[in-house]
Chains A and B, each alone.
Chain A
Amino acid sequence: MTNNRSTQFEPNQFRSQFPVLNSSENGDFVYLDSAATSLKPQVMIDALQNYYSKHTATVARSLHKDAMRITADYDLARQRVAKFIGATECDEIIWTSGTTESINLIAQSYARSLLQPDDEIIVSDLEHHSNLIPWLIVAEQTGAKVTPWAINDIALSSLINPKTKIVAVTQMSNVTGYCPDLAKISAVVHNYGAVLVVDGAQGIVHNPINVVDYDIDFYAFSAHKLYGPTGVGALYGKKRLLASMPVWQGGGKMLTQASFTDFTPAPLPAKFEAGTPNIAGILAFSATLNWLEKVEISAANHYVETLADYATAKLSKIDNITIYSVPNSPLISFTIAGIHHNDIAILLSEQNIAIRTGELCAQPLMKKLGCQGVIRLSFMPYNNHHDIDNFLNVLNDALLLLK
Chain B
Amino acid sequence: MTNQQLYSPEKLTEIFAKQHNWQDRYRQLILLSKQLDDLPAEAKIAANQVYGCENRVWLIYKKTPNNQIFFQGDSEGRIVKGLLAILLILANGKTADEIMEIDFENELKALNIIDELSETRLLGLTKLIEAIKKAA
| A binding-site residues for B, Cβ under 8 Å | 340, 342-343, 345-347, 349-350, 372, 397, 401-402
Contacts and interface: CB of A to CB of B under 8 A. Distances in A.
Contact of A340 (B27, B77, B121): B77
Contact of A349 (B27, B80, B118): B118
Interface string B107-126: 00000000010100100000
B106 interface: no
B116 A350 contact: yes
Nearest to B117: A346
A109 to B, nearest CB: 34
A323 B77 CA distance: 20
Contacts of A347: 26, 79
Contacts of A346: 77, 79, 121
Given A401-B27, A401-B30, A350 B76 contact: no
User: Max chain B CB contacts within 10 Å: which of A340, A343, A372?
Assistant: A343
Contact of A343 (B22, B79, B116, B118): B79
Contacts of A345: 54
Given A342-B76, A346-B121, A349-B118, 10 more contacts: A340-B55, A340-B76, A342-B55, A342-B79, A343-B78, A343-B79, A350-B26, A350-B116, A397-B23, A402-B78
A347 B27 CA distance: 11
A21 B21 CA distance: 27
Nearest to A347: B26
* 9 closest residue pairs by CB, A with B: A342-B77, A340-B77, A343-B77, A342-B55, A340-B76, A343-B79, A346-B79, A343-B78, A342-B54
B97 to A, nearest CB: 34
Contacts of B23: 397, 401
Nearest to A342: B77
A342 B120 CA distance: 13
6 contacts: A346-B77, A346-B121, A347-B79, A350-B116, A401-B27, A401-B30
Q: Is the interface of A mostly helix, strand, loop or mixed?
A: helix
Q: Is the interface of B mostly helix, strand, loop or mixed?
A: helix
Contacts of A401: 23, 26-27, 30
A350 B78 contact: no
Given A350-B22, A401-B27, A401-B30, A340 B78 contact: yes
B26 A342 contact: no
Contacts of B30: 343, 401-402
Interface string B78-121: 11100000000000000000000000000000000000101001
Contacts of A342: 54-55, 76-77, 79-80
A349 B22 CA distance: 12
B36 to A, nearest CB: 14
Interface in B4-60: 22-23, 26-27, 30, 54-55
B117 to A, nearest CB: 9
A135 to B, nearest CB: 26
A42 to B, nearest CB: 28
B54 to A, nearest CB: 6
B77 to A, nearest CB: 4
Contacts of B80: 342
A343 B79 CA distance: 6
A372 B118 CA distance: 23
A340 B82 CA distance: 13
